[in-house]
Amino acid sequence: MGSKKHKKTNAMRLLTQGGIDYEVYTYRWKEDDLDARQVGPEIDRPDEMIFKTLLALGDKTGPIVAVIPSYLSIDLKKLAQVSQNKKVEMLPLKELEKTTGYIRGGCSPIGMKHQLPTYIDRHIDGLDEVIVSAGQRGLQVGLKPADLVAFTEALVVDITMAHL
């Protein structure tokens, strides 16, 4: 990315309009390696601060958003329970852009086509800053956890698998 000025993404515009302070982070990405765990070392921030945005499909609610730490895995049973679904499965990748307006590796919980029910993992509690996709590969935004929760109208819940 170098010293090129980055264009504001829709997520960044919405945060600015909402009067929410955020920090922009840029990183190099590769088409064959879009794992969120690559972001922390690239932007010199700990994994605990980097959250990935996942889309799931509830049998009762339809599409739902799960925002979890980059180093953890989603627990679909827990997500089903907190979202009042009997069963939840990951949204098929081919439906991601149509559903959210974002592509894989650049899906932000901020500024999706439609406001979807959003669940943020409890690991956000106690952080000074949470870093999520800015809606474009290679761009992340860091903001106060309370701002992300309020802006996305999210519930903070336990939706990750316990790590061993």
CB neighbours of residue 10 within 10 Å: 17
Q: pLDDT averaged over the chain?
A: 89
Per-residue tokens: 94 = 């081919």
Question: In this structure, what DSSP letter does residue 158 have?
Answer: -
What is d(CA 21, CA 28) in angstroms, rounded to the nearest whole number? 24
Give the H/E segment covering residue 23.
strand 23-26
Cβ-based neighbours of 153, under 8 Å, separated by 6 or more: 115, 118
Q: How confident is the model at residue 164 (pLDDT cuts 50, 70, 90)?
A: low
**pTM metric for this prediction:** 0.91
* pLDDT value of residue 43: 82
DSSP H stretches of helix in the chain: 10-17, 39-43, 76-82, 96-100, 145-152
* pLDDT value of residue 1: 35
What is d(CA 112, CA 131) in angstroms, rounded to the nearest whole number? 17
* pLDDT value of residue 49: 94
pLDDT per position as a tens digit, 97-142: 999 999 888 899 999 999 999 999 999 999 999 999 999 988 999 9
Give the mean pLDDT of 63-92: 96
